[in-house]
Structure formats: C-alpha cells, structure tokens
C-alpha cells in the first residue's frame, strides 16, 4: 500500500499530466485556429483576384496615347487607351493609325486561360436553355448552308475554334468532310464523333497538310487569338489554291458598338483580344494572298441579341450581360445572384425587345454598319492543283 508521501507524489504526477494535456490541447486548438485563418485568407485572396466572367467595363475619357505592342495591322506602336476592365490590369487600346482595338499589354497563354472559366463553355450537349439552344442550332444550319454554298459535296471544310461542333454537325448533314480544331478539350466535348477534331494550342500545331482544305471557317474566333497574323499565314498554307476563307468578327465600327460604348455586349472583354473594323480586317486578310469577295454586316444570332443585351447593360440594375447568363445553361454564380424581379424584367425584355432589336439590326446592316463583319475571300496563291471552278466561289451571305 502507498503511504501518505506516495499519495502526495501520485497526486502531483496526475496533476502534472493533466496540466500538460491541457497545454497540448490548447496548443492544438491554437494551431487549428491559425490554419482556419490562413484558409480564410487564401479564400479571400482568391475571391479578390478572380476574374469575373462578365466584368464591368469603364470608358477612359480624355486619355492620351501610350506606347504599346506593335499593331497587328499597321505595326504602329502608339495607341489610345479606351476602356478599363474590372479585375484586370490590361486595357483596351485603339491604334492611332488604323483604328484596330487590342488588349494591352498582350497577355500570355497562361493569362488568357484565366479569362475562360469552366461555365463559359456550358454543357457539352447544350450551352443554352432548350428553346434558345434549338434556335442556335437552327441558325448554325442556315449559316453553314449559306457559307459553303457552291462547294461540291464531300469537300473538306475546317472549322477553326469549332467548340462543341454545332457547325460541324451542319457540315456533316450537307455531306461534307467536316474537320475542326480547338484549343480546349473541354470546349470540344460533345462534338459529333464523325467530325475529325484536333486539339492543339495553335492552328500550326494541329499538323494539317499543305493545300488540304477546300474551305476554312473562323466564326467569331479571330478576335480571341493572340496572334491572328500567324493563323492567317497558316491558313494560306493549308487552304488549296482557289479555296475559300470565311471570317466573322464583331464590328468595332458598328452602330451598336459606337452608340452603346462600354456597354456593348460584343466587347466581351478580356476574352476578345482584338476588335476589328471592316478596314482593319480586310487589310490584314489581304496581306496573306486572300482576295476579298464579299463583306456582309448581318448575323441573325449575333446582331439583334447584341443590341438588346447592350441596351440592357446601359439601363438595367442587373450585372453586366445578365440576360446572356440567365439564358446560359451553365448556371453561373452571376446568374444565380439575380433576384426574381430582375429575372422577370429580363425575360420580358427578351420577348418584347428582340423583334425591335432585329429591325434595328437590319437597318444598320443595310447602311453597312452592322454589328458583325462576315468576310468571304478566295486564296489567290499560285495553283499547285486544279483550282476551284468559278461557281464554287459564289458570293455568300452571312445569314447568322
């Protein structure tokens, strides 16, 4: 048995053990609290540094010309800052010589990747609400039928920046050999298996053979590319002599761009690295032996909606491009934050305002100031194979 002294020593040992355990517990709790604080700090930093899918744009009035990267069209290095972008250090500047708009400084590939959140691409099978998605696919079929009219059945057609392959499906239905190139495998998910798609960081890396295509389409793609001149040079190589090039971009000189300014839907900053006018686009394309045949200014899917969303951006209390995000099937955080009142007003404006926007779009296109530039050109380099017959280069109308 333990005597009194032994009992006292045992109590002291027990007390010391309990005290050390309490200290260890408090230290563990302190460490866990510090970890939680660090996690909250990291999350806060991520929230601050994240680039919104549709950041607000502010006009930089009375700005002076600054030194920038050489203009892709005229090599001028003086440009005037026009717009700043929420959460982005780059600005949209306009060349003092030719009027090309460009993002400055030009971001590198990793930086450009940050501009495309996962919800930007939508679901592989459908990007928009069912009724809107049906309209998009119907419009794509009408567009492709017009753009490739005159091509023989079985012609090899490449869609650069094909995305989920909406136009590729239309090409297949017309009996053509449909090819696509895309930077992102996520963007190309859901494309029809018969379409032959190559994933590559640049068109030149896709490895297409020389003189291998009868026609190439870049539908609202060229403005996303950091080096459009390199893409056009590669197109000169892979399109066969007499082959067709179709390029569509937003029109930086359009009525809707001029009238709505920083609210213009098709600015799509910072993803649109360049903003072309008819003059700058035809000048750039012509440099690579493409002879421009037609320049159209109406696109059914782009122009009316561009007017409507731009108007809403200027008058609505909802975040920028809210109608677009609401119709988008990705359920982005920006769409989820809309109130019931905002959703009702946007839906009403969509139903009632779209016919009016369509009429205005037709008027601006008739005056050659429409919101889209749709250019059709023929490659005029010396022939190494039999050229296209004359009826295969008919002028094409950009229906959508």
Q: What is the pLDDT of residues 144-198, one digit of tens each?
A: 999 999 999 999 999 999 988 899 999 999 999 999 999 988 888 878 778 899 9
For 95, phi then psi, to 5°, come to: -60, 130
pLDDT at 33 over 90: no
Name the average pLDDT for the chain: 85
For the segment 314-366, what is each residue's pLDDT rounded down to a tens digit? Answer: 998 899 999 999 998 655 555 678 889 999 999 999 999 999 999 999 999 99
CA distance 395 to 400: 15
The answer to whether residue 103 scores a pLDDT higher than 50 is yes
Classified as helix, coil or strand, 355 is: helix
CB-facing half-sphere around the CA of 220: CA atoms within 13 A: 19
Backbone angles phi, psi at 370, to 5 degrees: -70, 165
Return the closest-CA partner of residue 121 out of 329, 333, 272, 271: 329
The structure tokens listed for 128 are: 């928009």
Residue 382 confidence class, pLDDT cut points 50, 70, 90: low
Tokens of 187: 């963007």
Q: Which pLDDT does position 261 carry in this prediction?
A: 97
- Does domain 120-255+290-393 sit in CATH 3.40.50.150? yes
Number of residues written out for the chain:
400
Predicted pLDDT at 18:
52
pLDDT score of 332: 55
Give, in order, the Cα–Cα distances in Å from 196 to each of 58, 159, 167, 208, 384: 42, 10, 13, 12, 25
Q: Where are the domains of the chain?
A: 120-255+290-393
Q: For 10-24, 116-130, 253-267, 277-291, which range has the lowest pLDDT when averaged over its residues?
A: 10-24
What's the half-sphere exposure (Cβ side, CA atoms, 13 Å) at 245?
A: 30
- State the pTM of this model: 0.82
Q: Is the peptide bond before 270 cis (omega within 30 degrees of 0)?
A: yes
Decide if pLDDT at 243 tops 80.
yes
Q: Which of 38, 36, 51, 98 has the alpha carbon at shortest distance from 72?
A: 98
- Using one digit for the tens of pLDDT, what is the confidence trace for 245-295? 999 999 999 999 999 999 999 999 999 999 999 999 999 999 999 999 999
Burial of residue 75, with CB atoms counted within 10 A of its CB: 0-12 exposed, 13-18 middle, 19 or more buried: exposed
Q: Is the pLDDT of residue 36 over 70?
A: no
pLDDT over threshold 90, residue 400: no
The larger pLDDT score, comparing residue 17 to residue 111, is at: 111
Whole-number pLDDT of residue 40: 46
Q: Work out the pLDDT band at 394, boundaries 50, 70, 90.
A: very low
């Amino acid at each position: 048995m333990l005597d009194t002294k032994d009992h006292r020593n045992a109590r002291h040992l027990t007390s010391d053990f309990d005290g050390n355990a309490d200290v260890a517990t408090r230290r563990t709790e302190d460490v866990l609290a510090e970890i939680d604080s660090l996690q909250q700090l990291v999350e806060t930093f991520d929230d601050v540094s994240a680039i919104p899918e549709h950041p607000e744009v502010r006009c930089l009035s009375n700005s002076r010309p600054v030194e920038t990267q050489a203009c892709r069209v005229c090599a001028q290095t003086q440009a005037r800052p026009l717009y700043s972008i929420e959460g982005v250090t780059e600005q949209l500047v306009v060349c003092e010589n030719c009027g090309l708009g460009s993002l400055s400084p030009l971001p590198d590939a990793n930086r450009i990747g940050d501009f495309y959140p996962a919800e930007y691409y939508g679901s592989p099978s459908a990007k928009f609400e069912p009724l809107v998605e049906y309209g998009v696919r119907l419009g794509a079929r009408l567009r492709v039928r017009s753009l490739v009219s005159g091509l023989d059945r079985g012609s090899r057609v490449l869609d650069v920046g094909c995305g989920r392959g909406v136009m590729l499906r239309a090409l297949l239905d017309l009996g053509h050999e449909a090819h696509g190139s895309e930077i992102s495998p996520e963007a190309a998910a859901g494309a029809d298996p018969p379409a032959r798609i190559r994933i590559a960081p640049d068109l030149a890396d896709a490895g297409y053979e020389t003189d291998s295509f009868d026609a190439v389409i870049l539908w609202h793609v060229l403005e996303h590319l950091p080096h459009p001149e390199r893409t056009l040079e590669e197109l000169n190589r892979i399109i066969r002599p007499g082959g067709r090039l179709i390029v569509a971009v937003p029109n930086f000189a359009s009525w809707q761009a001029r009238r709505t300014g920083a609210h213009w839907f098709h600015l799509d900053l910072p993803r649109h690295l360049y903003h072309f006018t008819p003059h700058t686009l035809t000048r750039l394309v012509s440099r690579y032996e493409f002879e421009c045949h037609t320049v159209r200014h109406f696109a059914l899917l782009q122009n009316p909606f561009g007017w409507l969303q731009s108007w809403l951006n200027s008058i609505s209390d909802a975040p920028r491009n809210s109608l677009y995000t609401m119709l988008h099937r990705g359920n982005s955080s920006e769409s989820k934050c809309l109130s019931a009142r905002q959703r009702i007003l946007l839906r009403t404006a969509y139903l009632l305002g779209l016919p009016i926007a369509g009429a205005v779009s037709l008027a601006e296109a008739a005056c050659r100031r429409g919101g889209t530039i749709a250019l059709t050109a023929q490659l005029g380099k010396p022939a190494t194979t039999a050229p296209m017959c004359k009826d295969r280069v008919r002028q094409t109308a950009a229906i959508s």
